[in-house]
């Protein structure tokens, strides 16, 4: 999973990048909106996969850092009239710092205890957002968010989002393909073994969590400005569950898996909502199908199809 | 001063005690073997030294420093490498990645282990740096595990049953490579059941039974006394 990008992979990335960049030329507001939002949730899912796919822990509370990034940025921009750069940086830093503190406690535990503690901390964040009405406007939602004039236009915001996301994904790629990323995979595969090889496993899991919190914060900052509002639902456990399902659907043992899962799940939700209001039912069926038949997600499915028909004779 | 002093360690897994006061000294540059049937505490002794199963009492001193109670990664950084029995590589990482994650700087005044030097010792690995660890043969995995621990530049190497499950020809290979390691100045503790392997390599032998050291002596003394082999080692 840590092999460098092949030539075909590089070409595919480039084509997708160019297609994305050309979206506004089609002059469809709908399409621009869809691609912007997919980019944001994709980064959110990729950030979660640093915890799940690389360090081998399941977090049920990743929405907390997304929401903190979004709320802090929205409040500083709107209530306090900060300029974009310091406000966005403060949002991301708040998310990272919270992740650092939460991870300090969570990485003392493993498995289900780790997952439950991440859930508990995220519900704490949700409760604060919900109850601190004077600052967050509680369940009425913090809206409207004052978006700086420079990016207060559909196309401008699209390009702004795209640049931030592409840079973030590139940084995540470099991190996961460094010695640090390989050591994380070693920790995931066998904590004991990684320990006697000389890897400080708890510190590695902590660092992975902090990196994930940072990029969830970035996604949250963009999300709040894109929707021109932040809502308590963004901090609720269902939001954590949704990004978890995106990550699983795409495939946790592949770098780009969660990105694909995010795009597919987002589009499915959009399309399903046009025909029926029973999206949660559809989501449940998808989840069952992944867990029962396709635990390595869409990327795993793609590999299997390729091996079957393309005669991919990998050893 | 011995490089490693294990003094009266008692170790348990939960309620079941496995070691009942193991004491042994290891001098720098020696190969010391722990011998005995299955379940006598060879692996547990190694796990106790490595910090993977902490002794409930007794002390372990490495180069004069108390290490009982430290975490495995701290002990690894002090200069003890561990090669566990069976296949203990990271299956999703390639051969080179398995080596890369274990890389630590060499102690001053020693020739460092890096890929090139490791590949000289294990030429088979040089041919397959990009192959995932999970698809290697048993012998290749054993070599990779030893190679990986060398990348950490240890001064003491714990080798747990390196000949287990390998074809006789491969066992000879591993034996010769261990000998080369000794000649490079590395101290080695070896847990083994293969008597030929032990007698070929060991400076000192400790025979374990029921978590205690029952007999200690040189390899030559063990070779000379058939009754000891019969009493403690034949099944």
Selecting from B90, B102, B135 the residue whose C-beta is nearest the C-beta of A198 gives B102
Out of A2, A185, A201, closest to residue B73 by CB: A201
B114 by Cβ neighbours in 10 Å (0-12 / 13-18 / 19+) ranks as: middle
Mean pLDDT of B20-24: 93
Query: Which of A198, A203, A254 should be substituted to probe chain B, the one whose Cβ sees the most B Cβ atoms within 10 Å?
Result: A198
Residue A4 is predicted with a pLDDT of 62
Q: Which residues in chain A are closer than 8 Å to B91, comparing Cβ atoms?
A: 189
pLDDT digits (tens, 9 = 90+) for B128-148: 999 999 999 988 998 899 999
The shortest CB-CB distance from B152 to any of A185, A193, A197 is to A197
For A189, which of B73, B90, B131 is closest by C-beta distance? B90
Q: Any chain B CB within 8 A of the CB of A176?
A: no
How many CB atoms within 10 Å of residue B27? 13
pLDDT score of A314 more than 80: no
Interface check for A259 against chain B (CB to CB < 8 A): the answer is no
Residue in chain B nearest A187 by alpha carbon: B90
Q: Are the beta carbons of A186 and B152 separated by less than 8 Å?
A: no
Interface residue A201 vs chain B (CB under 8 A)? yes
| A–B CB contacts, 8 A cutoff, strictly below | 68
Question: How many percent of chain B have pLDDT more than 90?
Answer: 66
Is the pLDDT at B8 greater than 70, yes or no? yes
| Partner B contacted by A4 (CB < 8 A) | no
CATH of the domain at B204: 3.40.50.300
Strand-strand pairing, B187-192 and B31-35:
parallel
Three-state secondary-structure class, residue B234: coil
Of A180, A267, A158, the C-alpha closest to A2 is: A180
Q: Say how far residue B200 (Cα) sits from the centre of its chain.
A: 16
Residue recorded with tokens 């592949």: A254
Nearest-neighbour CA in chain A from B221: distance (Å): 34
Q: Which of A3, A189, A198 sits opposite B91 (nearest CB)?
A: A189
How far does A196 lie from chain B, in Å, by closest CA? 5
Residue B98 C-alpha, separation from nearest chain A C-alpha, in angstroms: 8
Q: How confident is the model at residue A1 (pLDDT cuts 50, 70, 90)?
A: very low
* Nearest-by-CA chain B residue for A179: B101
Residues 218-257 of A with CB under 8 A from B: 253
Q: Which of A2, A190, A196 to mutate to test the interface with B (most CBs of B within 10 A)?
A: A196
> pLDDT band for position A312 (50/70/90)?
very low
Q: Which residues of B touch A185 (CB under 8 A)?
A: 90, 92-93, 97
- Nearest-angstrom CA–CA distance, A78 and A91: 13
**Smallest CA–CA separation between B115 and chain A, in Å?**
15
The 10s digit of each residue's pLDDT in A56-73 is: 999 999 999 999 999 999
Residue B157 sits in which domain range?
4-232
Q: Chain B residue with minimal CA distance to A181?
A: B101
If one counts the domains in chain B, the total is 1
Mean pLDDT, rounded, for A216-231: 97
Q: What is the 3-state secondary structure (H, E, C) of chain A?
A: CCCCCCHHHHHHHHHHHHHHHHHHHHCCHHHHHHHHHHHHHHHHHHHHHHHHHHCCCCCCCCHHHHHHHHHHHHHHHHCCCCCHHHHHHHHHHHHHHHHHHHHHHHCCCCHHHHHHHHHHHHHHHHHHHHHCHHHHCHHHCECCCCCCHHHCCHHHHHHHHHHHHHHHHHHHHHHHCCHHHHHHHHHHHCHHHHHHCCCCHHHHHHHHHHHHHHHHHHHHHHHHHHHCCECHHHHCHHHHHHHHHHHHHHCCCCCCHHHHHHHHHHHHHHHHHHHCCCHHHHHHHHHHHHHHHCCCHHHHHHHHHHHHHCCCCCC
Nearest chain B CA: its distance from A186 CA (Å): 6
Q: Within the 68-87 window of chain B, which residues sit less than 8 Å (CB to CB) from chain A? A: 71-73, 75-77, 82, 84
Facing A190 at nearest CB: one of B90, B100, B130: B90
CA A17 to CA A37: how far, in whole Å?
A: 15
Quote the tokens at residue B102.
């274990």
Residues in chain A with CB shorter than 8 Å from the CB of B135 are 315
Find the distance separating the first CA and the last CA of chain A, reported in whole Å: 15
Q: Which residues of A, range 26-65, sit inside 8 Å of B by Cβ?
A: none
The predicted structure's pLDDT at residue B85: 84
**Among A58-72, A160-174, B107-121, which is the least confidently predicted range?**
B107-121
Cβ of residue B88 closer than 8 Å to a chain A Cβ: yes
Interchain contact, A182 vs B71, CB within 8 Å: no
**Cβ atoms of B206 and B33 closer than 8 Å:** yes
Is the pLDDT at A120 greater than 60, yes or no? yes
Q: Which of A295, A185, A203, A180 is nearest to A247 (CA)?
A: A295
Gap between the Cα atoms of A192 and A199, Å rounded: 10
The reply to whether residue A193 touches residue B76, judged by beta carbons under 8 angstroms, is no
Q: Is A315 a residue whose pLDDT tops 50?
A: no
Q: Which residue has the higher pLDDT, B219 or A229?
A: A229
For residues A232-236, average pLDDT = 95
- Among A179, A196, A198, whose Cβ lies nearest the Cβ of B100? A179
**Residue A3 confidence class, pLDDT cut points 50, 70, 90:** low
> Picking from A133-147, A282-296, A300-314, B29-43, which range would have the lowest pLDDT averaged per residue?
A300-314
Distance between CA atoms of A65 and A214, rounded to whole angstroms?
8
Spatial neighbors of B32 by CB under 8 A, at least 6 apart, are B24, B26, B188, B189, B190, B202, B203, B204, B205, B206
Distance between CA atoms of A31 and A37, rounded to whole angstroms?
10
- B134 close contact with A: CB closer than 8 A: no
Q: How far apart are CA A54 and CA A46, in angstroms?
A: 11
Give me the residue from B50, B88, B93 closest to A2, CB to CB. Answer: B93
pTM metric for this prediction: 0.86
Quick check: bond before A11 cis, omega within 30?
A: no
Lowest average pLDDT, out of A228-232, A242-246, A272-276, goes to A272-276
Tokens read off for A187: 């920790």
Question: Residue B83 is inside which H or E element, if any?
Answer: strand B80-83
């Amino acid at each position: 999973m840590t092999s460098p990008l092949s030539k075909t992979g590089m070409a595919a990335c480039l084509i997708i990048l160019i297609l994305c960049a050309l979206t506004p030329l089609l002059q469809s507001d709908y399409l621009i909106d869809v691609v912007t939002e997919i980019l944001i949730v994709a980064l959110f899912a990729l950030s979660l996969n640093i915890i799940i796919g690389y360090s081998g822990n399941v977090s049920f509370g990743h929405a907390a850092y997304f929401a903190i990034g979004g709320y802090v940025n929205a409040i500083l921009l709107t209530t306090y009239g900060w300029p974009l750069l310091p406000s966005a940086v403060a949002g991301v830093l708040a998310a990272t710092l919270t992740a650092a503190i939460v991870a300090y406690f969570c990485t003392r535990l493993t498995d289900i205890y780790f997952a439950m503690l991440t859930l508990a901390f995220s519900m704490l964040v949700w409760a604060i957002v919900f109850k601190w009405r004077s600052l967050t406007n509680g369940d009425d939602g913090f809206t409207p968010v004052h978006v700086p004039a420079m990016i207060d236009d559909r196309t401008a915001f699209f390009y702004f989002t795209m640049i931030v996301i592409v840079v973030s994904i590139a940084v995540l790629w470099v991190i996961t393909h460094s010695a640090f990323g390989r050591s994380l995979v070693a920790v995931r595969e066998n904590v004991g073994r990684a320990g006697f090889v000389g890897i400080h496993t708890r510190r590695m899991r902590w660092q992975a969590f902090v990196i994930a919190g940072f990029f969830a914060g970035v996604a949250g900052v963009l999300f709040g400005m894109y929707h021109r509002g932040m809502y308590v639902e963004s901090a609720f456990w269902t939001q954590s569950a949704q990004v978890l399902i995106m990550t699983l659907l795409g495939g946790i043992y592949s770098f780009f898996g969660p990105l694909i899962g995010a795009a597919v799940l987002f589009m499915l939700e959009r399309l399903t909502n046009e025909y029926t209001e029973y999206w949660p039912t559809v989501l449940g069926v998808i989840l069952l199908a992944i867990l029962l038949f396709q635990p390595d997600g869409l990327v795993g499915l793609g590999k299997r199809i390729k091996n079957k028909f393309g005669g991919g004779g990998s050893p | 001063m011995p490089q490693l002093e294990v003094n009266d360690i008692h170790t348990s897994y939960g309620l079941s005690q496995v070691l009942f006061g193991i004491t042994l000294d290891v001098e720098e540059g020696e190969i010391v073997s722990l011998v005995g049937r299955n379940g006598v505490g060879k692996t547990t002794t190694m796990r106790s030294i490595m910090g993977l199963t902490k002794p409930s009492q007794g002390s372990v001193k490495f180069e004069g420093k108390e290490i009982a109670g430290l975490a495995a990664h701290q002990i690894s950084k002090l200069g003890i490498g561990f090669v566990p029995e069976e296949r203990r590589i990271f299956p999703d990482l390639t051969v080179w990645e398995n080596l890369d994650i274990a890389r630590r700087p060499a102690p001053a005044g020693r020739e460092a282990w890096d890929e090139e030097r490791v590949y000289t010792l294990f030429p088979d690995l040089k041919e397959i740096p990009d192959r995932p660890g999970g698809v290697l043969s048993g012998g290749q995995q054993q070599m990779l595990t030893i190679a990986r621990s060398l990348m950490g530049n240890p001064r003491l190497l714990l080798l747990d049953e390196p000949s287990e499950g390998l074809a006789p020809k491969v066992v000879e290979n591993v034996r010769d490579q261990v000998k080369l390691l000794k000649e490079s100045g590395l101290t080695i503790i070896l847990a083994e059941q293969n008597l030929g392997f032990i007698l070929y390599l060991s400076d000192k032998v400790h025979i374990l039974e029921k978590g205690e050291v029952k007999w200690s002596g040189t390899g030559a003394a063990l070779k000379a006394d058939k009754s000891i082999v019969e009493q403690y080692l034949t099944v």
